[in-house]
Every structure is written in C-alpha cells, then in structure tokens.
C-alpha cells in the first residue's frame, strides 16, 4: 500500500525532527555534533542488519 508507506516515512521524519528538537533544546546538540550523529546512526543500522 503506497499510502501506508508514505505515512510511515512521514512519521519517521516527524519523529527524527522531534528528537533533534528535544536535543537542541536541551543544549546537547551543536551544528557540528548533529552532522556527526546521523552517519553514526546509519552505521549502527548497517551493523545490526
């Protein structure tokens, strides 16, 4: 179902944005740190897969 996939992707984007927003508000994420976090998460997913 294309609609289901679109909703799942949209939900994932909203969750990622919310997490980054919370981290930014807590002051734990700088511009440089946020750039380094994304590749780290991708590497973790690849290892688990």
- Tell me: the pLDDT tens digits for 8-25? 888 988 898 888 888 777
pLDDT of residue 38: 55
Pair 20, 34: CB distance under 8 Å: yes
Q: Residue 25 to residues 10, 17, 19, 28, 31: CA-CA distances in angstroms?
A: 22, 12, 10, 8, 13
Number of domains in the chain: 1
Q: Which structural domain, as residue segments, surrounds residue 16?
A: 2-48
Structure confidence at residue 18 (pLDDT): 87
> What pLDDT, in 10s, does the model give residues 26-43?
665 455 555 555 555 555
**Residue 48 in this model has a pLDDT that exceeds 70:** no
Ramachandran region, residue 29 (left: φ > 0; alpha: ψ -120 to 50; beta: rest): beta
pTM score: 0.42
Contact in structure between 20 and 29 (CB atoms under 8 Å): yes
């Amino acid at each position: 179902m294309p609609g289901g996939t679109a909703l799942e992707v949209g939900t994932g984007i909203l969750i990622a944005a919310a997490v980054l927003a919370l981290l930014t508000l807590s002051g734990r994420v700088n511009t440089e740190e946020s750039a380094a976090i994304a590749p780290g998460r991708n590497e973790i997913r690849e290892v688990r897969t």
